[in-house]
Chains A and B, each alone.
Chain A
Amino acid sequence: NAGVMQNPRHLVRRRGQEARLRCSPMKGHSHVYWYRQLPEEGLKFMVYLQKENIIDESGMPKERFSAEFPKEGPSILRIQQVVRGDSAAYFCASSPRDRSGRTYGYTFGSGTRLTVV
């Protein structure tokens, strides 16, 4: 049973290019969360998605950032026209939901380290 799969592990982009980060949740998990972590800083929530729906994007920058979780395939976090300040580790997490509504802990992927040069 594979965990949360993220790719690529490392991504280098020049300023102005686009970055695409992929995340496949654990089998049986239908909820995906994206977080950003700058060096020596905490996790910052970005967006929460279910299949074909964005539930909460309150942590997403208003410009250049977008996310999707299509019916088929992985969730994608897209950053257009990257700048140096976008350099960070981007983590994806997934969780199940049971019928009682209990909150389970998230399972995190290994992350994508984005470097903008």
Chain B
Amino acid sequence: QKEVEQNSGPLSVPEGAIASLNCTYSDRGSQSFFWYRQYSGKSPELIMSIYSNGDKEDGRFTAQLNKASQYVSLLIRDSQPSDSATYLCAVNSVKTSYDKVIFGPGTSLSVIP
């Protein structure tokens, strides 16, 4: 089982809809969870961090964490074409000798005008 898994996509949603991006992880000891956005040809940009179970909202973005299910998701409300990008889920691992962040393969999102 891979440490961080995401649906590769592409995920296509119409403009104005809710985009739902999902991520599962294997390390039960993980405590820190991140979502990055990467536009084509650009570097990853941190858009959300979440450390506790439940929801965390920031503008049109909501991160949801369920540690019991080892599941973290990102919801994008009122999706815009400018949201079209690859979204990377990242989770800290406590299995290494230091606190290492493991990245998932990313989900490609396309918002159709």
Contacts and interface: CB of A to CB of B under 8 A. Distances in A.
Contact of A103 (B31, B104, B106): B31
Q: How large is the interface on A (under 10, 10 to 19, 20 to 34, 35 or more residues)?
A: 10 to 19
Interface string A62-104: 0000000000000000000000000000010000000001111
Contact of A42 (B46, B101, B104): B104
Given A43-B88, A48-B98, A55-B98, A103 B32 contact: yes
A18 interface: no
Nearest to B46: A105
Given A42-B103, A42-B104, A55-B98, A102 B43 contact: no
Contacts, number: 47
A63 B22 CA distance: 37
A34 interface: no
Interface in A28-57: 42-43, 45, 48, 55-56
A25 interface: no
Contact size range, B: 20 to 34
Nearest to B44: A108
B57 interface: no
A42 B105 contact: yes
B96 interface: yes
Contacts of B32: 102-104
A51 B89 CA distance: 28
A106 B101 contact: yes
B11 to A, nearest CB: 16
Contacts of B99: 101, 103
Interface string B1-44: 00000000000000000000000000000011010100000111
Interface of A: 42-43, 45, 48, 55-56, 91, 101-111
Shortest Cβ-Cβ A-B pairs, 4 listed: A103-B32, A105-B46, A42-B105, A108-B43
